[in-house]
Structure 1
Amino acid sequence: MTQTPKLQDFNLFPQHVGTWDGTWTICDPEGNKLQQFTAVLEQRIEENQWRQTNHQTYADGSTETQEFVGVVLSHGELEITSDNPPFSNYKTLAKELDDRLILFKIWQKETNTLRAIELIHLVADGYRVRTTQSFTPDGTLQSIMTIVETKR
């Protein structure tokens, strides 16, 4: 019987544990800014699961909180779930690509249609850049998001 790998032994995910402050910028396919907001992400490992809480603050002062849980599939690979809509409708796989890059692939559960691809680049200790390509249900590019974050 194969033992489930320990998340704390992964190459890259443990380097992301902590509290991150960031600015999220969403643009249309032509690069025109649609929305910008700030967020604080709390990322931790608990009982061999990835636990993430996003606290987002919008320009109008409104806030939103989202929770995510990652379960180990194999060394360097997690399945991410959430009870928060719209994320509860998605299947998400996250995979360490090397010592600096994590790739997220997100599908619509109902149709198995690819909805987004996110690349997280740990540029330096305490500094990362995330880029997301989001797609409509028919596969057309819907938006591009850039997130620049620093660790507290």
Structure 2
Amino acid sequence: MSNIREEMPVLARHEGDWAGTYTLVDIAGKILDQYESHLTCQFPENSPYPYYQINRYKWSDGKKEEYEFPGMYSDKKLLFDTERIQGKAWEADDSVVILWFSYKTSPEMNLYEMIYISPDNNYRARTWHWFKNHQIFQRTLIQEERLR
């Protein structure tokens, strides 16, 4: 079995807990939504999934959502296939991971995410580019700090 930590060292640097803010904007830059996040990135031992991520979101009106993303690993790619999404992630260079995924309930829609991690591993900047029928229609801007 391939070792995800060794073959995807940039991804391995994301292990831990992250707090941040998601800001969803339309193509003109108008804010559509904004909410807080707490993400946990794990590489569990003795698990069927070599990668496991939990995303927790909280809005100012009290609304909360939580999603789990078990990930498989193959050929220097992280693969997701859950009830909700299908996708894959790969490393672009020594600071960036690219993620592509689509929602199973909306096959005409997909997104690309660029995830940048700082050299000290304490800050992340992420952008989602949302496409519907191959046309961009919104973006999500994410700033995060590692929780200590």
TM-score interval, smaller chain? 0.7 to 0.9
Q: Distance in 2 between matches of 1:135 and 1:44?
A: 28
Kindly report the root-mean-square deviation, in angstroms, between the aligned alpha carbons of the 2 structures. 1.8
2:114 matched residue in structure 1: 119
**Runs of 5+ unmatched residues, structure 1:** none
Q: Distance in 2 between matches of 1:110 and 1:21?
A: 28
Q: Deviations over 1:29-61 (max 9, x none)?
A: 111100000010011001351100011001211
Q: CA deviation at 1:110?
A: 7.7
2:71 matched residue in structure 1: 70
Q: Distance in 2 between matches of 1:16 and 1:71?
A: 16
Q: Distance in 1 between matches of 2:17 and 2:109?
A: 29
Number of matched pairs? 142
- For residues 14 and 139 of structure 1, do their structure 2 counterparts lie closer, same or farther at Cα, with a shift above 3 Å needed? same
Q: Distance in 2 between matches of 1:96 and 1:121?
A: 10
Taking only the aligned residue pairs, the percentage that are identical comes to: 24
Q: Distance in 1 between matches of 2:111 and 2:136?
A: 9
Q: CA deviation at 1:140?
A: 2.0
Q: Distance in 1 between matches of 2:140 and 2:104?
A: 22
Runs of 4+ in 1 over 2 A off after TM superposition: 107-114
- For residues 57 and 108 of structure 1, do their structure 2 counterparts lie closer, same or farther at Cα, with a shift above 3 Å needed? closer
Q: 2:130 aligns with which of 131, 134, 146?
A: 134
Residue identity matched to 2:2: P
1:6 aligns with 2:3: yes
Q: Secondary structure at the match of 2:128?
A: strand
Residue identity matched to 1:5: S
